Protein backbone atom coordinates (compact mmCIF):
# COMPACT_ATOMS: atom_id res chain seq x y z
CA UNK A 1 0.00 0.00 0.00
CA UNK A 2 1.32 3.43 -0.92
CA UNK A 3 2.08 5.85 1.89
CA UNK A 4 1.32 9.49 1.20
CA UNK A 5 2.66 12.09 3.63
CA UNK A 6 0.73 15.36 3.57
CA UNK A 7 2.63 18.20 5.25
CA UNK A 8 0.37 21.08 6.24
CA UNK A 9 -2.55 18.68 6.53
CA UNK A 10 -4.39 21.09 8.85
CA UNK A 11 -4.63 23.81 6.20
CA UNK A 12 -7.34 24.33 3.62
CA UNK A 13 -5.61 22.51 0.76
CA UNK A 14 -4.11 19.83 2.99
CA UNK A 15 -7.53 19.00 4.47
CA UNK A 16 -9.13 18.82 1.04
CA UNK A 17 -6.43 16.56 -0.42
CA UNK A 18 -6.54 14.32 2.67
CA UNK A 19 -10.33 14.09 2.34
CA UNK A 20 -10.09 13.05 -1.29
CA UNK A 21 -7.35 10.51 -0.65
CA UNK A 22 -9.11 9.13 2.42
CA UNK A 23 -11.39 7.17 0.09
CA UNK A 24 -8.47 5.63 -1.79
CA UNK A 25 -6.47 2.50 -0.91
CA UNK A 26 -3.50 4.47 0.49
CA UNK A 27 -2.05 5.03 3.94
CA UNK A 28 -2.19 8.72 4.81
CA UNK A 29 0.45 10.30 7.00
CA UNK A 30 -0.99 13.65 8.07
CA UNK A 31 1.23 16.21 9.79
CA UNK A 32 1.16 19.89 10.56
CA UNK A 33 3.59 22.21 12.31
CA UNK A 34 2.63 20.85 15.75
CA UNK A 35 3.78 17.33 14.81
CA UNK A 36 6.52 17.87 12.19
CA UNK A 37 7.98 21.33 11.63
CA UNK A 38 9.23 21.23 8.03
CA UNK A 39 11.74 23.99 8.81
CA UNK A 40 13.55 21.58 11.15
CA UNK A 41 15.66 19.27 8.97
CA UNK A 42 16.25 16.77 11.79
CA UNK A 43 12.50 16.38 12.41
CA UNK A 44 11.79 15.99 8.69
CA UNK A 45 14.52 13.39 8.16
CA UNK A 46 13.49 11.45 11.26
CA UNK A 47 9.81 11.35 10.26
CA UNK A 48 10.61 10.41 6.66
CA UNK A 49 13.09 7.76 7.77
CA UNK A 50 10.67 6.12 10.19
CA UNK A 51 7.59 6.27 7.94
CA UNK A 52 9.20 5.83 4.48
CA UNK A 53 6.49 7.60 2.43
CA UNK A 54 6.20 6.93 -1.30
CA UNK A 55 4.85 10.43 -1.95
CA UNK A 56 5.28 13.66 0.03
CA UNK A 57 2.76 16.43 -0.65
CA UNK A 58 3.88 19.80 0.71
CA UNK A 59 0.80 21.88 1.49
CA UNK A 60 2.63 23.78 4.25
CA UNK A 61 3.48 27.40 3.65
CA UNK A 62 3.34 30.95 4.88
CA UNK A 63 0.81 32.38 2.42
CA UNK A 64 -0.18 35.70 3.97
CA UNK A 65 1.48 38.13 1.54
CA UNK A 66 1.47 41.01 4.03
CA UNK A 67 3.00 38.87 6.77
CA UNK A 68 5.69 37.66 4.35
CA UNK A 69 6.57 41.29 3.59
CA UNK A 70 6.83 42.21 7.28
CA UNK A 71 8.62 38.98 8.27
CA UNK A 72 10.80 37.98 5.28
CA UNK A 73 13.08 35.73 7.31
CA UNK A 74 10.09 33.71 8.49
CA UNK A 75 8.71 33.57 4.93
CA UNK A 76 11.96 32.15 3.56
CA UNK A 77 12.28 29.74 6.47
CA UNK A 78 8.84 28.22 5.82
CA UNK A 79 8.51 28.64 2.04
CA UNK A 80 12.11 27.88 1.00
CA UNK A 81 13.93 26.03 3.77
CA UNK A 82 10.92 23.77 4.45
CA UNK A 83 10.70 22.54 0.84
CA UNK A 84 14.48 22.09 0.82
CA UNK A 85 14.26 19.82 3.84
CA UNK A 86 11.43 17.86 2.26
CA UNK A 87 13.36 17.59 -1.02
CA UNK A 88 16.38 16.12 0.76
CA UNK A 89 14.17 13.69 2.70
CA UNK A 90 12.33 12.67 -0.48
CA UNK A 91 15.62 11.95 -2.21
CA UNK A 92 16.88 9.87 0.72
CA UNK A 93 13.73 7.72 1.00
CA UNK A 94 13.18 7.69 -2.79
CA UNK A 95 9.80 9.41 -2.56
CA UNK A 96 8.14 11.68 -5.10
CA UNK A 97 7.63 15.24 -3.84
CA UNK A 98 4.62 17.34 -4.81
CA UNK A 99 5.40 20.97 -4.02
CA UNK A 100 2.52 23.44 -3.88
CA UNK A 101 3.66 26.82 -5.08
CA UNK A 102 2.02 29.95 -6.43
CA UNK A 103 1.58 32.08 -9.52
CA UNK A 104 3.18 34.86 -7.45
CA UNK A 105 6.54 33.55 -8.71
CA UNK A 106 5.72 35.67 -11.78
CA UNK A 107 5.95 39.43 -11.61
CA UNK A 108 2.52 40.13 -13.02
CA UNK A 109 1.74 42.81 -15.54
CA UNK A 110 1.59 40.43 -18.49
CA UNK A 111 -1.28 40.49 -20.94
CA UNK A 112 -1.42 36.74 -21.59
CA UNK A 113 -1.75 33.81 -19.17
CA UNK A 114 1.52 32.43 -17.83
CA UNK A 115 2.70 28.92 -18.63
CA UNK A 116 5.28 26.71 -16.97
CA UNK A 117 7.77 27.85 -19.63
CA UNK A 118 7.59 31.54 -18.68
CA UNK A 119 10.49 32.98 -16.71
CA UNK A 120 9.64 33.58 -13.04
CA UNK A 121 10.30 37.11 -11.82
CA UNK A 122 8.62 37.58 -8.43
CA UNK A 123 8.20 41.05 -6.95
CA UNK A 124 6.93 40.14 -3.47
CA UNK A 125 8.72 38.40 -0.61
CA UNK A 126 6.01 35.74 -0.78
CA UNK A 127 6.70 35.07 -4.48
CA UNK A 128 10.47 35.16 -3.97
CA UNK A 129 10.32 32.74 -1.04
CA UNK A 130 8.08 30.31 -2.93
CA UNK A 131 10.39 30.44 -5.98
CA UNK A 132 13.37 29.71 -3.71
CA UNK A 133 11.43 26.70 -2.41
CA UNK A 134 10.77 25.50 -5.98
CA UNK A 135 14.47 25.85 -6.81
CA UNK A 136 15.48 23.83 -3.74
CA UNK A 137 12.99 21.11 -4.67
CA UNK A 138 14.44 20.93 -8.19
CA UNK A 139 17.98 20.84 -6.81
CA UNK A 140 17.52 18.20 -4.13
CA UNK A 141 14.76 15.93 -5.48
CA UNK A 142 14.75 14.63 -9.04
CA UNK A 143 11.29 13.05 -8.58
CA UNK A 144 9.12 16.11 -8.07
CA UNK A 145 6.03 17.89 -9.31
CA UNK A 146 5.57 21.63 -8.76
CA UNK A 147 2.01 22.95 -8.78
CA UNK A 148 1.59 26.72 -9.18
CA UNK A 149 -1.92 27.51 -8.05
CA UNK A 150 -3.72 30.81 -7.95
CA UNK A 151 -6.27 32.33 -5.59
CA UNK A 152 -7.26 29.26 -3.61
CA UNK A 153 -10.71 29.55 -2.10
CA UNK A 154 -13.33 27.32 -0.55
CA UNK A 155 -13.60 25.78 2.90
CA UNK A 156 -12.46 28.34 5.50
CA UNK A 157 -11.18 30.79 2.87
CA UNK A 158 -10.85 34.17 4.65
CA UNK A 159 -11.57 36.13 1.47
CA UNK A 160 -14.55 34.01 0.42
CA UNK A 161 -16.01 34.12 3.94
CA UNK A 162 -15.56 37.92 3.99
CA UNK A 163 -17.36 38.29 0.66
CA UNK A 164 -20.20 35.97 1.73
CA UNK A 165 -20.59 37.85 5.03
CA UNK A 166 -20.81 41.22 3.28
CA UNK A 167 -23.25 39.85 0.72
CA UNK A 168 -25.47 38.29 3.41
CA UNK A 169 -25.56 41.66 5.20
CA UNK A 170 -26.55 43.40 1.97
CA UNK A 171 -23.31 45.38 1.99
CA UNK A 172 -21.28 46.38 -1.00
CA UNK A 173 -18.58 43.89 -2.00
CA UNK A 174 -15.42 45.41 -3.41
CA UNK A 175 -12.70 43.48 -5.16
CA UNK A 176 -9.54 44.26 -7.09
CA UNK A 177 -10.25 45.05 -10.72
CA UNK A 178 -6.62 45.17 -11.83
CA UNK A 179 -5.79 41.49 -11.20
CA UNK A 180 -6.41 38.42 -13.31
CA UNK A 181 -6.05 34.85 -12.12
CA UNK A 182 -7.41 31.35 -12.46
CA UNK A 183 -9.04 30.75 -9.08
CA UNK A 184 -8.56 27.28 -7.62
CA UNK A 185 -11.53 26.16 -5.61
CA UNK A 186 -13.65 23.18 -4.60
CA UNK A 187 -15.04 22.54 -8.08
CA UNK A 188 -11.55 21.88 -9.42
CA UNK A 189 -11.01 19.19 -6.79
CA UNK A 190 -14.23 17.27 -7.42
CA UNK A 191 -14.10 13.94 -9.17
CA UNK A 192 -15.76 14.16 -12.56
CA UNK A 193 -18.31 11.45 -13.33
Question: Which residues participate in catalysis according to the annotation?
Answer: 126
Q: Are 44 and 36 in contact (CB under 8 A)?
A: yes
The secondary structure of residue 147, as a DSSP letter, is: E
Q: Residue 164's Cα: distance from chain center in Å?
A: 24
Mention every residue, 6+ apart, whose C-beta is less than 8 A from residue 169.
Answer: none
Q: Please state whether beta strands 96-102 and 144-149 pair in parallel, antiparallel, or not at all (unpaired).
A: parallel
Q: Please state whether beta strands 26-31 and 55-58 pair in parallel, antiparallel, or not at all (unpaired).
A: unpaired
Amino acid sequence: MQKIWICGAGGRVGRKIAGLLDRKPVELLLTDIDSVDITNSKDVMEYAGINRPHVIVNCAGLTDVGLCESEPERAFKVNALGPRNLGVAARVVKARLVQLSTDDVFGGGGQTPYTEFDRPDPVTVYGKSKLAGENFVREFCSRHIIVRSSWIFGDKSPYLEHVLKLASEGKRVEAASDQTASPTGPQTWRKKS
